[in-house]
Every structure is written in C-alpha cells, then in structure tokens.
Structure 1
Amino acid sequence: MAPLKLSLACWDYDRVKAIEDGRVRPEGIELTFLNLRVEETFFRQLRYQEFDVSELSLSSYVFTLNSPNPPFIALPVFPSRMFRHQSIYVNKKAGITHPSQLAGRPVGTPEFQMTAPVWQRGILQDEYSLQFDAPHYYTGNVEPSNEERAEKIPLALADSVKITRIEKGKCLAQMLADGEIVALESATAPSTFGTHPDVGRLFPDAKTVEQEYFQRTGIFPIMHVIAVKRSVLAANPWAAQSLTKAFASALDYAYDAIHARGALRYILPWMQFHVEETQAALCKEGDGSDGKWWQDGLTAQNRRTLDKFLEYSFDQGLAKRRWQVEELFAPGSLEAFVL
C-alpha cells in the first residue's frame, strides 16, 4: 500500500528536527516538511488552509472551533511553550510599578486573539487583579512594516473590550518608547527593548517571577499545537495516532541532544548547568515528569495548563463555549501515549 502523502508546515524546532531530517518517519505517511516561521504558517493556514498538517496558535485553533464546521483538529503535541511574564514591556516613565496600574491606560498588543496576550491578560487578572478588559488596547505591527497587521480571524467581543487599530505607518515598538502606549503585551520583544532607555520589562526579575508562578500553579504555558485538517483524518483516521507517535519520538531525540556531553550540540557553553537548573525548577520527585520538563500528551500538568487556557479564552470572549480539554484532540491521538 502506498504511503499517505501529507504536507507539514512547522518551524524547525529541536523537538521536530528528527521529523524534518527523516530520522523519524510516521508509519504509513510520507511527510513533506515545510520549514516556515510561525507567523507565515499561521496566516497561510488560517486564511487559506494550505497544509495538511501544521503548527498552529493554540488560541487561533480554539477560536476556529466556534465554526459550525471547524477545519482543523489538534494532536496533543505542543511544539511551542513559553512563560509570558517576561514578554510584557513598559515605558519606564509611565510610573507602572504594579500591573493593576494598567487599568484605563493604553496598552499595545499585536492581535487580541494571539495566544501570548490571552495568557498575559489571564495571568494579570488572576494574579494581579487587572481585569482583562480594563486597559484600552492598541493593535498592529510591533515593528515598522509596509503591511498593516490585522487580526487573522475576525472577532466579535463584548462592548467592554476597547480596541483601536494603530494608524498606518506607526508601530507598537516606537509607540512604547515614545509613551503613546504605556505597556506592550506581546510574544516578541520590541526592537526598542535594550536599545531605548525608557523601555523595560513590567517584571524586571521575570525569571524569578515565572518560576514562582510555576511553583504556585504548576502551569507551563502552551503556545502552539499541531493541527490536522479534519478532511484528512476523516479519510484516514489512523493517521492521528501515527503522527502523534512520530512527534513523541522526535521529542526523545531532542532530549538526547540536549543531554549530550562529549561535545556541545548547541552554542551555549553552560548548557549542562542550564539543564540542571531547569529540571530543578520544573521537575519534582513523584510528579511523573521523570526529569522531562517538556512533555506532550495529556499529562496532569498539560491538562491543568490547557484547562486554564480554555478558561481564559472563554472568559475573554474568544471561545464561544467553555471547551473541555479532551474535546480539542483527534480521536486516536491520545492513545498514542499509552500504547
């Protein structure tokens, strides 16, 4: 039987590199790996559904479930995770010493529905009593661009949410430096951070804040999922399990590489100490992690993390109903972790 030919659009993370270079091949599937940066993948997939399988923003994926006929269904594979306290920036002259002071103030965000700002708004509400709809949001390009940035998916939000698109020719990075906005909630760092004296982090000691947040909540925020066209799985339901198992094998290769000590695979001279520090911060004896701080599947930690995100998505008016974690994933994909 000829293999099923599928396209996969994903950035070449260390945890998928073995799929890209062919060391891991999903059973019964011939993959064409398209190494694309995330913004291009998201735009092309959400607007045009170009790829059979793709990396996709968790928030955008959940938002697509509002459709009567959702185009995608996810696998429990999480190629991107990141603590997001570190990605909130402020104008130092604005006098912001506590997140609650952002209420009623102009705050930039590239897109309201992006995964990173959904997490940031939710965390600031849960942890610092800043209601998600308290700031006045300004959306658009973080950096100068000839193309105006708009929401990839049209939104219908509550009247309490105040959003203004920035003027053509402006960018949020410079607006932050100039004080036109007092803060920026983003995934990427603005170019004015580290180059302009008035731009800094909301949480100057973000690493400590993020580690304390994890100790309290057990949440390591998930940013992206791997999503498959429903039409592909309708015709080939077995492919969900095959793909999921392949991603699990590729993640094992990433751990092998990061633990290598004979020679450094990465240009970080103190890699071993960073790994030890990460394990100490994110893995505890008896938590089931077995020293692996980045796991796919529905582990207890992943379930807790996804459930919190689904709460935020619904509360912020993005998801039209409160989804349950299992509803996000393709039948057969969860079984890949128990076989």
Structure 2
Amino acid sequence: MARLHLTFACGDYDRTRALEDGTVRPDGIDLTYLRLPVEETFFRMLRHREFEVAEMSMSSYVKSLDLDEPPFVALPVYTSRQFRHAGIFVNADSGIEKPEDLRGRIVGTPEWQLTAGVWIRGILADHHGVPVDSVEYRTGGQETPGRVEKAAVDLGERIRISPIGPEQTLARMLADGGIDAFQGPRVPSSFVPGGRVRRLFADPVAAEKQYFAETGIFPIMHVVVVRRDVYERHPWVAQTLTKAMTVAKNRAMAELYDSSALRFMLPWLIPGLEEARSLLGADYWSYGLGANEHVLDTFLRYHHDQGLSRRRYAPAELFAPEATENFVI
C-alpha cells in the first residue's frame, strides 16, 4: 500500500527536528517538511491553503472556526509556547512605570489578532487592572510599513483601534513618542538597553515565574493544523501525526539535557532546564488536551472577550477527536 504524501510547513524547532531529518517517521506517511518563517507559513496557509499540514497561530485558528465551513482541524501539538511579559515595551519618557499606567494610553501592536497580543491583553486585564477597552490601540508594520490584519476583525465600537499611516512603523513611533507603548511577539528594533525604549517589566523573568506560580499557565502560542479536506479523506492522520510529533518532542527534550556538550549557545542551559522542570514540572512543554485544558480555556475566554470569536469555544472543540484519545494496551 502506498504511503500518504503530506507537506508540513513549520518553523525550525528542536521539538520538530526529528520529523524534518526523518529520524521520526509518522506511520504510513511520507512527510515533506518545509522550514519556513512563521509569518510566511501563517499567511500562505490562511490565504491560499497551500499545505496539507502546517503550524498556525492559535488565535488565527480559533478565528477560522467561525467560518461557515472551517478550513482546518487542529492537533493538540503546541509548536510554540512562551511567556509574554517580556513582550511589552514603553517609551522611557511616557511616564509609564507600572502596568496600571497603561490605562488611557496609546499602545501599538502589529495585528489585533496575534496570539501574543491576545495573551498580553488578557494578562494585563486579569492581573494588572488594565481592561482591554481602557487602552487606545494602533496597528501596523513593526519594522516595515504596510502590514495589515491577515484576517478580517470586527470589533464594533467597544475597542478603540485604528491603523498607523502607510509610511509609519511601530518601532519608530515607539522611540519618537508617537505611541506610548508596544505589545508584540518580536523585540522592536528601537529597544536598546539604556535607550529611549525599555521593557515595562524591569525583570520580566521574575514576573513570568510569579504569573505561573499564581495560575499554572505556560501560554500556548501555536498549534498544528491539518487541512480539513485532508482530514476528512484520511481521519487516521490526526492521531498518527500527533503520535509522531509527541515522539519527536520527547526525543528533543531528552537530548536537551545532554550536558556533555551544549546543544545551544546558552552558557547556563542545563541549570536553566533544571530550574524550568522544578518550577513548571517535568513535562512543562506538554502536548495533548487534558494537561492543557486550563491554559486553553483561559485563552479562549480572552479571544472571545476581545472580539475575535463569535462565541467562547470549549477546549475540546478545537481538536480532531482522534488526536485527544490515548491508545493503551
């Protein structure tokens, strides 16, 4: 029987490396791994459905469920997780000293629907007294003019949001005082330690550790999706791919703890890994539904509250049911 050929567009990650180099092969599938920047993957998958399988922004995926015919089905595989307290920057002359000072200010973000932005706004509202509608927002290119939302967003009149000028960039506006603050997944080029732009949280790592201690949440950024027409023709690929991606992730985690020669150019990699396990748990980068239900439910609440989904979805609604069930002997 011929193997099924699928393309998988994804970033360059240790947790997917074994799928790219072929040392882990999904049962019955020949996988062509396309290593692409996340923005390109998202754009091409959302606009043109170019790949059978792809990494996708959690926010974009949830938003796609509102369509009359949702084009994707997700697997409970989280290629990107990241705390986001370090993704909030302020103009040093703005007078913003603590999160509460953001109320009434003008804040830039590349796109309203970015997963990082959904988490940041939700965390600020839940834990720092900054309701989403207490801030005025500007959207546009961070480093290059002309960026627009990848998917249409209808926020009504509750959220004050408008695009920046066609020749403007958020990084430059932040440095010049055109906006008071910036929220996003990438560090703006105008941030230089000791310069005119600084992080809102002086010690973001400490803030993120405290956040996890209070909530048990390690935010999920990206999932893996299968094009729905592929899934409907071959429903078995959901569990098969989830199983292979879990094996690849577990292998990467084991290799990361090899102290004989550091795999990455980070001097304190091993102590950092040990601290992460101590604070977050041994399987802190867990896949699956059960261990992450509270994380997903929080995100889905934020997503709906911020006008990005027509209703509040339940975590189990996100995934192919075959991929959330474990086979045991």
What is the RMSD of the two structures over their aligned residues, measured on CA atoms? 1.2
Secondary structure at the counterpart of residue 80 of structure 1: strand
Alpha-carbon offset, residue 322 of structure 1: 0.9
One of 292, 302, 310 as aligned partner of 1:320: 310
How many residues end up aligned between the 2 structures? 329
Aligned residue for 2:90?
90
Letter of the structure 2 residue corresponding to residue 81 of structure 1: R
Question: Which amino acid counterpart does residue 79 of structure 1 have in structure 2?
Answer: T
* In structure 2, C-alpha distance between the alignment counterparts of 1:192 and 1:317, rounded to whole Å: 30
Following superposition, the deviation at residue 298 of structure 1 comes to 1.7
Q: Which runs of 5+ in 1 are unaligned?
A: 284-290
SS at match of 1:317: coil
Aligned partners of 1:89 and 1:183 also within 8 Å: yes
Give the stretch that moved more between structures: 306-315 or 256-265.
Answer: 256-265
Identical-residue share of aligned pairs (%): 50
Aligned to 2:70: 70
- Residue 140 of structure 1 aligns with which residue? 140
* Alignment TM-score, normalising by the size of structure 2: 0.97
Structure 1 residue aligned with 2:42: 42
2:180 corresponds to which residue? 182
Give the deviation of 1:195 after TM superposition.
6.0
Q: For 1:295, which of 261, 264, 286 is the aligned residue? A: 286
Q: Could you say what secondary structure the match of 1:133 adopts? A: helix
Matches within 5 A, 1:6-85: 6-85=6-85
The question of whether the paired residues in 2 share the 8 Å contact of 1:116 and 1:186 is answered with: yes
Question: Which SS does the other structure have where 2:296 is aligned?
Answer: helix
Output the CA distance in 1 between the equivalents of 2:213 and 2:193: 33
Structure 1: 4+ residue segments shifted above 3 A: 336-339
Q: Is the 1:91–1:176 Cα contact (8 Å) retained in structure 2?
A: yes
TM-score by length of 1: 0.95
Determine the C-alpha separation between the residues in 1 that align with 2:290 and 2:88. Answer: 28
Unmatched 5+ residue regions in structure 2? none
Aligned to 1:197: 195
1:225 aligns with 2:223: yes
Contact 1:297/1:337 (CA < 8 Å) preserved in 2? no
Instruction: Report the Cα offset of residue 269 of structure 1.
Output: 2.5
SS of structure 1 residue aligned to 2:178: coil
Shift of 1:250: 0.4
- Residues in 1 aligned to 2:307 and 2:144: alpha-carbon distance in whole angstroms: 29
C-alpha distance 261-57 of structure 1, shift in aligned 2 (>3 A) = same
Matched, 1:334 2:324: yes
Check the 8 A contact 1:245/1:337 in 2, yes or no. Answer: no
Report the AA paired with residue 141 of structure 1: G
